Amino acid sequence: MPTITFQNPRGRGSAALSVVVEPGTTILDAAEHCDARVGHACGGNLACSTCHVWIHEGDDLSEPEDKEYDILDKAFDVRPESRLGCQAKVGTSDLVIEITEESLKSWLDENPDIRKREAG
């Protein structure tokens, strides 16, 4: 089974986290399995772009559909390695992923109690 590594699971400078998941798992679900902070303002319904991540190593992922590209157009700092975490399903190979600033901020917006605790 593939190992998914999040380089910055709790923001810049945080220690990497890895999780082993079943093939077919979305990146968003993999993040939730290991408490990596991938935002998901629309609940994984392909409507927000807050689950935007960059795939740095590995390319064994489900092919993006046109609607994923449409939603990615709303995201900041879109790169060739960009994917939406709620749509990209892992295959059988390991991946190394960086969570975008946009996604990390969204996650904190979705968890105001944690943001408040970490700020104070």
The residues of the shown chain that bind ligand FES, judged by CB under 6 A, are 40-42, 44, 46-51, 71, 84, 86
Tell me if 74 sits within 8 A of 44, measured CB to CB: no
CA distance 76 to 22: 30
Tell me if 48 sits within 8 A of 42, measured CB to CB: yes
With respect to ligand FES, which residue has the nearer C-beta, 71 or 90?
71
Give min distance, CB of 89 to ligand FES, in A: 13
Q: Which residues pair with 90 in a beta bridge?
A: 61
Give min distance, CB of 39 to ligand FES, in A: 7
With respect to ligand FES, which residue has the nearer C-beta, 17 or 27?
27
Q: How many helices (H) and strands (E) does the chain have?
A: 4, 5
Give min distance, CB of 93 to ligand FES, in A: 22
With respect to ligand FES, which residue has the nearer C-beta, 21 or 86?
86
| Sign of the torsion angle spanned by Cα atoms 46, 111, 105, 8 | negative
Give min distance, CB of 109 to ligand FES, in A: 13
With respect to ligand FES, which residue has the nearer C-beta, 34 or 41?
41
